[in-house]
């Protein structure tokens, strides 16, 4: 998640070292870990459970808040209602004072989603230098079955909620506060920092899922909206075309990105829901979730992934999109 992506383990290593070592192959595990799969699907007799686990390692600002929401998002994009959260909080030796803020944030985020904190562990550890929160979320599908990120089909419409680069806007506004202060109006910067508040996509994801509307859903993190579209297309064995001019970009995001010289469409985007929707269900989707926007469509794999930039220039996307955050933060000595 967020800045932690700096240290994401390469895909080859995961495939070779991790994904082949999954213990006993239980028959009640419907979705096992694989690249790009953010949650597990489990069977308890006839009941289905969805589980997701992610740490927040890189952001000191709102780690408690983020840990609940990123895990809730991972569960919700599978069409499951987040119910039970577990958290492990690791604090540096002088960090006990930070526990209060972290717990307040976890509590508030859980309440906002009607989720209970059910178990966990809190520890002052000599081998961490800043606080880390590791979250685990369990949820239950709201529709007949879970939604995956691998069932987008050629012809499906690509829709998104809210606006591009929500999480990245908040991170950059905090990390580059001083640099940005001279370049963009103070009230815009203050609002940009508050973009953490918009980070949940549970509401929109569950509204679509309970009506059985999306073929596939995704929570775009690394590589932003373009990276997320690429991951949906890859997982589904098709390709996408995405039109820059159709992608909503908030005033605050626009200002931060212009001042720092980065592309809001390639900026980490927790807070945005991406979905593939069969054309015949599009109207119903747009009525179900306010502010949902059509930004492109899926097509046959051989047609390739294309971003049509404002002005008509076509940009091919042939591999995972490097997040703008990495580039900007690599020039920054302190971690935000």
Q: In what order do the strands lie in the sheet with 293-299?
A: 216-218, 274-277, 157-160, 293-299, 239-243, 306-308, 314-316
Q: What is the dihedral of CA 91, 50, 43, 206, to 10 degrees?
A: 150
In the complex with a second copy, the residue whose CB is nearer, 16 or 287, is: 16
In the complex with a second copy, the residue whose CB is nearer, 67 or 253, is: 67
Of 61, 62, 85, 63, whose CA–CA distance to 72 is shortest? 85
Q: Please, which of residues 40-69 interact with a second copy by CB under 8 A?
A: 40, 42, 44-45, 47, 49, 51-55, 57-58, 68
Mark 306-335 with x for binding to a second copy (rule: CB under 8 A) and - for no binding: -----------------------------x
User: Any contact of residue 188 with a second copy (CB under 8 A)?
Assistant: no
R_g of the chain, CA atoms, integer Å: 19
User: Any contact of residue 128 with a second copy (CB under 8 A)?
Assistant: yes
- For residue 80, CA distances in Å to 49, 147, 204, 229 come to 8, 8, 12, 21
Q: Which of 120, 154, 248, 304 binds a second copy (CB under 8 A)?
A: 120
Size of the site for a second copy (CB under 8 A): 79
User: Any contact of residue 26 with a second copy (CB under 8 A)?
Assistant: yes
Q: Which of 2, 36, 63, 119 binds a second copy (CB under 8 A)?
A: 119
Q: Please, which of residues 65-94 interact with a second copy by CB under 8 A?
A: 68, 83-88, 90-91, 93
In the complex with a second copy, the residue whose CB is nearer, 87 or 275, is: 87
**How many CB atoms sit inside 10 A of residue 319's CB?**
9
């Amino acid at each position: 998640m967020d800045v932690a992506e700096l240290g994401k383990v390469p895909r080859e290593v995961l495939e070779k070292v991790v994904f082949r070592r999954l213990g006993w192959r239980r028959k009640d595990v419907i979705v096992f870990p694989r690249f790009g799969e953010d949650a597990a699907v489990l069977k308890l007799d006839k009941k289905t459970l969805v589980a997701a686990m992610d740490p927040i390692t890189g952001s000191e600002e709102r780690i408690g808040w983020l840990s609940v929401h990123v895990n809730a998002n991972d569960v919700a994009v599978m069409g499951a209602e987040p119910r039970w959260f577990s958290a492990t909080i690791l604090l540096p030796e002088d960090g006990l004072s930070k526990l209060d803020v972290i717990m307040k944030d976890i509590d508030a985020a859980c309440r906002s989603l009607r989720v209970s904190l059910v178990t966990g562990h809190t520890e002052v550890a000599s081998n961490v230098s800043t606080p880390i929160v590791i979250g685990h979320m369990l949820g239950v599908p709201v529709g007949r079955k879970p939604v995956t990120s691998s069932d987008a089909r050629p012809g499906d419409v690509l829709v998104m909620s809210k606006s591009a680069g929500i999480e990245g806007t908040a991170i950059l506004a905090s990390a580059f506060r001083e640099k940005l202060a001279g370049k963009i109006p103070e009230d815009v910067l203050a609002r940009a920092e508050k973009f953490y508040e918009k980070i949940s996509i549970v509401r929109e994801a569950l509204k679509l899922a309970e009506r059985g509307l999306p073929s596939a859903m995704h929570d775009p993190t690394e590589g932003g909206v373009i990276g997320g579209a690429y991951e949906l297309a890859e997982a589904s064995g098709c390709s996408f075309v995405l039109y820059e001019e159709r992608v909503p970009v908030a005033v605050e995001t626009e200002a931060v990105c212009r001042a720092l010289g980065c592309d809001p469409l390639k900026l980490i985007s927790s807070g945005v829901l991406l979905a593939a929707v069969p054309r015949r269900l599009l109207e119903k989707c747009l009525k179900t979730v306010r502010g949902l926007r059509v930004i492109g469509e899926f097509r046959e794999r051989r047609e390739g992934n294309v971003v049509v930039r404002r002005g008509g220039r076509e940009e091919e996307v042939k591999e995972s999109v490097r997040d703008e955050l990495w580039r900007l933060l690599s020039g920054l000595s302190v971690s935000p």
